[in-house]
Structures are given as structure tokens and as C-alpha cells.
Chain A
């Protein structure tokens, strides 16, 4: 009887575990993939110049198509991939029409490899090179969702649609969307193209690659798509205030903000006694800035007394300048635990980037702030470990002290014996 009961109980438990195991994670995964799936939009230049036969003996277009086929085969399941063209449809000479020529070839979503490949096969080099408008549209394609977003731009010629500077377009896109990066690939070793494409990449924290062979192109695009699939922490957007009193209160996490030249940003963090505040800040140089720069992060009390600061300065080519600080708040001496209240620490961020007159000041430079409040402050009562020593001098000193103590003790006992004897 008991045995059967046990058996049924066991079977039930097993069944419950199995169903829970099957049903629960599946649901959780499905929810997660739709909301946080990484999105990639491949933007390909289909302008007339793609006809040129200089990629391993075939035309740039043929090379791009071959590379795309390889990329579509290798795209990880979780990545939502889309394809957008620029200059694919309008063959005429009218600049105005030509500069609007960008179309969605394959919508961003779960990838149907055959369909996407068929769509790519139809491409023929045709029109202008409207990079700026294409980037704007691509950013719209990627709208929504919380996963990382990446635009991969493949082009063989600089933008032919001035005055809309694609570099500034990229910066504005990056300012609007969180976690959006633009990677660029140039198919022609041309200085002007290099400048423009690397400017676009740097404006969003992406990379620029100059490609001269078909296999390089496929490898690089694959690498970029894989990079999008890597799980990363998506920062939360926040807006710091001009002064501490109006500043937003932050909890542990990763935040982004924008800070213009000469601006200061304030944030507040609550630190309870016995906790340690750790904050670090990075300011990215997403445009042409003067070669010397710095960043200062200060922690102040609500009354304006500086507790600790982190500062960094540098010069030369850089993507980011960063610094951090640590503030362990001692355990309160009050015996009554309830009276111990959290202290509000004000964090002030200022940077000393500067730019020439031609450089746009808005949107501000991207700022990344990490805040960690961990339990238990660090403490130390002595520089040495538990007051212990080490080294030959320590041994020598101990031996000498021991020897002298022995001498004195021996002499004392001898003296005592002598006194006792004489009495």
C-alpha cells in the first residue's frame, strides 16, 4: 500500500516536473525572443557604380550578392534580419527623385532564407547614392523592441545627396534610439569614402571596414550579424538635471544620457549605511573633437560637500573617456537600526571635450553611467594583513627579542635563586 502510494506520488511529481519543465521555459523563451530579439538591417548600395568589375574579377554587385547569400545561410536563428536598398529603382538624372530612392527589399523579422535570397537575386545596379535618407528609413525599420539594433551599410561611393550629411544623420539616429549601432563597409579604397563611412561608424560606436575581396565581405558581414546576436546589457535612458535638487534618483543599473559641450549633469543615488556606491561614467566622442579632453565625476552630499571624485584626461584619438568612483558608507553607530536612513549622494558629471566651430553641438555627446550599490562597505584597520608581518627582518627582530627576553629571564631567575640561597 505504502509502496504504491509512494510510486503514484513519485509519478505525479515527475509528471509535474516534466510539464513545468516543458511548459514554463517554452513560454518564457517565446516572450523573450519577440521582445528582445536582436535586429539587423543590411543596407546595400545598388547605385550605378556597383557595376564596376573590380572585386576578384567580378562586379561589385555580384560580389555583394554572393556575400549576402553566404550571410543569409549563416544568420543565427534568433536574429531578425531585414534588407534595404538605396539607389535601386530610379535610373534617371533628376537629383531630387534620385535622392529619395531607397526601398525595403526584405522586412525586418524572422528570416525566411529562400525568400530573402530570391529578393537579393533581383537586384541590378541602377541609380544614385542617397546614404542619409536610407539610414533614416533603416532606423525606422528597426523601430520597436528592446534588443540590440544594428545597421550594416555596404557602399561603394560617398553620398551624392548633399547637403544632408549622412554623418549627422547617423548621430541623430543614435541619439534617438538606444543601443543602435551602424557598421559600415566600403568597397572602394577611396579616401573620401573612407572618411565619410568611418565618420558614420564613429558617430554610433560602430566599425568601418574597407573591403576589397568577396570572401572578406561575407566574413565581415557575418561577424557583424553574429555580434548583434551576442547578448548585451541594454542601457536605460535617463536625463540628468542641471542641479542636484532636481536630479533623477537612480538605482543599480546601466544608464545612458546625452551631455552637450560645457554642460553638467546631476544624478542622485540613495546609499544606506553599510552599503557601498560604485559609479562609473564614460563619455563617447561621436564627432570630431579637439585632441585633448577629460571627464570628471564627483560625488557630493546633498549639502554640497564633496565626498570623492574620479577624474580622467587624455589626448589623441579616442572613442571614449571614462572614470569611476567608490564610496563606502560606514555602518551607522546608532544602536537603533530604524533611525539609520539612506543618504542621498549627488553625482555630477562634467566633461571637457571641445570641438571646432563647424561641429554641431546638439545632440550632446553620448554618456554611459553605471551605478552599483553593493552591500557591506569595505574596511581596513591596518595596512598589514591582520597585523601579520613577513620577511627576514621580521624573523631577525623576533629572534633577537626572544633571545633578549630569554637572557633577562635567565638572569632574573638566577638572581632570585641566589637571593633565596643567601637568606
Chain B
């Protein structure tokens, strides 16, 4: 237990050391999770703020802004994106929405969760919503899919949080947003044969083209990896299932043999024959 903790801390520190963009954006790089959580959001795919799964990122913004974050998700995970928006005291009815895009900027469907929600007008005598809570449960990320499919693949995912319906009087009012991504491990049920050459991380081609030295100097489109690195894709619990199944089959085979073969010699054969 302690070893894993030490190992993960070391891995995290190494990760911080080799990714200058991350190290620069966080004032005090430290292995503990919450102190390094980003306190701002990007305003486009290109400037999306990178967050890790399990981190609660906050941002102060204005109503009408388009807020972008990105996070890495690996095969076998089913990410859940949750966002909370704290609205100003006085506001008209507003509809907020989160959209999730994959590393190729393709919109990803939410299986369930309130992706869009309308907050009733606040500051009126009848009261109203002071915050909006949104959630989006993505489909399970598979290690491989056909190029023609829109299935979620390992790589970077973008979150876009914005107000989609608002009164002009609310435009530009300050709001506070909070997002968090957690994922459920689906395991071998989602395992497929095959894997991507590289995870769907934007800018991967430019890095392999420019070489390591060049890429570390430049700003990257996406640099975060899952905490244990990208899965190589060969392990799944299907090995365990199939292995145990094989052993049980062998046992059953021995049982079946013993049943028909009978104990010792056949009964029809006279003793001493």
C-alpha cells in the first residue's frame, strides 16, 4: 500500500517535471491532489485547461463565456463529468449545458445525467435557483473501434460548459464554476482485441515529427496522461476468467472420465482372467 503511494507520488512528480506547461500553470507543483487543482478554465479547445480525474477544478467566469477543460481517459473507464455553476444573486432564467468532446473534437453522447438544466430566475421574492448542477456519464472507453465509428477511445477529452439560453440582462454577470471528472472502472467487460497506435491526444503527430527536444520547449495541446500512464491494452480480467474456466473444465473432464471409466476393472471380466 505504502509502496504504491510512494510510486504514484514519484510518477506524479516525474510527470510534473517533464511537462513544463503543467508545471508553469500551477504555482506550487506538489503531489497532493487538491493544492494543484486548476483555478481557471480555458476559452477554446486550444486553450482548454488540463485537469486530472478526481481533481475538482474551479473557475470564476462571466455568464456567456464558453469554458473548456480537458482530461485524459483510458480504455476500460467510464468517465462521469460533473459540473456545478454558482449563479449570482439576481438573475433571469438561464439554461446551462455541458458538452463532452473526444480528442478529435467529436461530440460524445452522454448515456445519462442532466446534461442541460434550466435555473429558475433568482432574486425574486419566490426565491430561485442559486446554482445549477450538471452531470454527464459517458459511454465506456474502448481500446479500439472502427475508424468509421464515433465510439469513445483512449485519449484526451474536452469538457465545454456554457449557458445556452439566457436573457441579455444576464450577459457578463460573474459566476463560479466547478467541474470534476471521476470514472468507474468497467474492466474486462469492455476489453477488446486491438489498440490504437497512440492514444487520441491532439498534437501527438507534431510531437513525433519534431522529436522530444522540440516538443518539451513548446506549448502542447494536451500533455496530461492517466496517473499510471496509458494502458498497453494486453491485460484484462478475461485472462482470469478464461484461465479459471479452463481449470474447471479440466476438473469436470476428470470427473466425467471417472464416472464412465468406473473404478478399477470392468465388472464383466472375471477375477483372475
Question: Interface of A with B (CB < 8 Å)?
Answer: 28, 32, 181, 186, 189, 191, 194-195, 197-198, 205-210, 216, 219-220, 223, 226-227, 230-233, 235, 251-254, 276, 278-282, 308, 310, 312, 314, 316-320, 322-328, 368, 370-391, 394-395, 398-411, 413-414, 417-418, 421
Contact = CB atoms under 8 A, between A and B. Distances in A.
A317 B171 contact: no
A252 B210 CA distance: 9
Contacts of B251: 399, 402
Contacts of B273: 421
Contacts of A322: 45, 101, 105-107
From DSSP, what is the main secondary structure of chain A's interface residues? mixed
A272 to B, nearest CB: 12
A324 B163 CA distance: 24
Interface string B158-200: 0000111110110111100000000000001101111111101
B266 interface: yes
A231 B219 CA distance: 5
A388 to B, nearest CB: 4
B197 A375 contact: yes
B256 interface: yes
A344 to B, nearest CB: 16
Nearest to A186: B172
Interface residues of B, number: 90
Nearest to B196: A378
Contacts of A235: 46
B106 A379 contact: no
Contacts of A280: 103-106, 202
B252 A230 contact: no
A232 B47 contact: yes
20 contacts: A232-B47, A252-B205, A279-B104, A280-B104, A280-B106, A368-B45, A370-B221, A374-B198, A380-B193, A383-B193, A388-B242, A389-B242, A391-B241, A398-B246, A398-B248, A402-B248, A402-B256, A403-B253, A414-B266, A417-B266
Given A394-B241, A398-B245, 5 more contacts: A207-B61, A278-B103, A323-B104, A378-B194, A403-B256
Nearest to A181: B43
A382 B62 CA distance: 49
B93 interface: no
B234 interface: yes
Given A231-B21, A280-B105, A390 B241 contact: yes
B255 interface: yes
A25 B172 CA distance: 43
A372 B204 contact: yes
Contact of A390 (B47, B204, B242, B257): B242
Given A326-B147, A389-B242, A403-B253, A395 B248 contact: yes
B237 interface: yes
B198 A376 contact: yes
A206 B193 CA distance: 44
B64 interface: yes
A388 B241 contact: yes
